[in-house]
Structure 1
Amino acid sequence: MSSAQAVITAVLFVWLGMVLAISFLEAPLKFRAPQVTLPIGLGIGRLVFRALNTVEVGFAAITVVALLFASFGGVAVAAVIAVVILAAQLLFVRPGLTRRSDAVLAGEDAPRSNAHFAYIALEVIKAIALLVGGILALLDAVA
């Protein structure tokens, strides 16, 4: 296994683990905890997702650099899909979610946002791309 293969395999699987843990486990569960109101949950969620997205941007950058140092075929396609989805989430979906959470935290009665469903759909696709990319990277390494 080359250094680039090792890096991209590790990054894709760690990135996947973080997305699964935060987006699909922590995010929905925090609203079920006793005493957690919508504003408290949104405040926690903003902090957690800001941290997650910061780490994801780092992982995306490492992934792109690793792709420059080796030919990965299907791994590259899956990894680029994950990077593009992250960019779409940050540039197009998160601003709408931020506006709604700002309104709720300011005490306004803001309606639910369809941006949340878009973010979840993109998160599912990103998780699948990361899983496929990680598996293909492992298969390339053992071939």
Structure 2
Amino acid sequence: MAHSPEEVDADARRIGAQLADELHLSLLARGFYLPMRAGEPIGGRAYVDIEPVRGDTATTLIDAFGPPPVAPAPPGNPTADAESAVRNLRRALCIASLGLRSLGVRSPSDPDGPVLVNLGVAPPAAVRRLASVVARGAGR
């Protein structure tokens, strides 16, 4: 028996509300308060809307769950290797509550030139914080 679109959406809302409650309680049990609710169904599927997350909470979540591992770049592909390095650095910077807006891969102007990672520009306060994090990581 086919269900009307309204019935499908109502079911998706019910499932979304249940999932939002379960996810909220799971995170709360681990010390994270993240308000959430059932999202609007899309194509009959349930969604969960999470309220905006403060930066310090996001950092704590990353610390608790750990960033996902970065797959190694395929050998012999310097661009993929540089992109992997950028992802690794972005992840580490995020854990340290830092960011480099211009961080990215710079393709060589000469086809035989090296692919480089552009660390870009940053405000002095961010550079000082980065220097402090690097020094602590080096045990100094």
TM-score normalised over the length of structure 1: 0.28
Q: Which has the higher helix share?
A: 1
Higher relative contact order, structure no. (Cα contacts within 8 Å, ≥ 6 residues apart): 1
Which one has a bigger Cα radius of gyration? 2
